[in-house]
Every structure is written in C-alpha cells, then in structure tokens.
C-alpha cells in the first residue's frame, strides 16, 4: 500500500512540475533522455540484457511449464504426471538374419 501511495504522490509531483515547466522544458528533458538512450554505453548494456533474456527464456519457459503441470496435478487430485520415456529414432535398418 505504501508503494502505491508513493507512486500516486510521485505522479502528482511530476504532473505539477511538468505543467509549471511548460513545453520547452519537456522538449529539453526529452532530448536529454534521447541522448542518454542513444549513448553507446547504454546500448551496450541494453544488448547485454537482451542476450541474457534470450539465453534464459527457454529455461524460464520450462520452469513455468513444470510448475503449471504440478499445479494442475494438485488441483485435479492425481499424482504427478508421468514423464515421457525418451525415444530414439534409429536410421539403421533392423537386421534380418536367416
């Protein structure tokens, strides 16, 4: 609740300061933010974050899927779902000896 109150107060202060500053100050802040965003150091960190997320996304998806399966099995009252046996597909033809 404290966080929500602080958020509303922050938005109110930002609104008041923004309306007092006017359009010129807004444009100045926007230009500064654009300059910061386009800084090579910031973009390097953005790229690092994107790579990290791309690398971890499959693990997170698998973790969430496993968690969802556990919840479903608990809700339905059944035991944990059986894991699928690993199946190998062989390209070798079966030998036929006579």
CA atoms within 13 A on the CB side of 11: 5
Total domain count, the chain: 1
Answer whether residue 81 is part of any domain. Answer: no
Answer whether residue 63 is part of any domain. Answer: yes
Answer whether residue 79 is part of any domain. Answer: no
Answer whether residue 4 is part of any domain. Answer: no
CA atoms within 13 A on the CB side of 26: 9
Nearest CA to 69 among 83, 87, 57, 86? 83
Assigned token pair, 45: 């960190």
- CA dist 89 and 2 (Å) reads 58
Nearest CA to 66 among 54, 83, 78? 83
Domain that holds residue 68: 24-74
Tens of pLDDT along the chain (98 residues)? 778 888 888 888 888 777 766 777 778 888 998 999 999 999 999 999 999 999 999 999 999 999 999 999 888 876 555 565 555 554 555 555 54
Answer whether residue 96 is part of any domain. Answer: no
């Amino acid at each position: 609740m404290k966080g929500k109150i602080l958020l509303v107060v922050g938005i109110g202060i930002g609104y008041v300061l923004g309306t007092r500053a006017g359009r010129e100050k807004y444009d100045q802040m926007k230009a500064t933010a654009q300059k910061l965003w386009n800084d090579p150091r910031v973009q390097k960190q953005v790229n690092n974050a994107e790579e990290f997320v791309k690398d971890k996304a499959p693990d997170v998806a698998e973790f969430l899927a496993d968690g969802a399966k556990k919840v479903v099995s608990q809700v339905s009252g059944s035991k944990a779902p059986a894991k699928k046996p690993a199946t190998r597909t062989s390209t070798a033809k079966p030998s036929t000896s006579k």
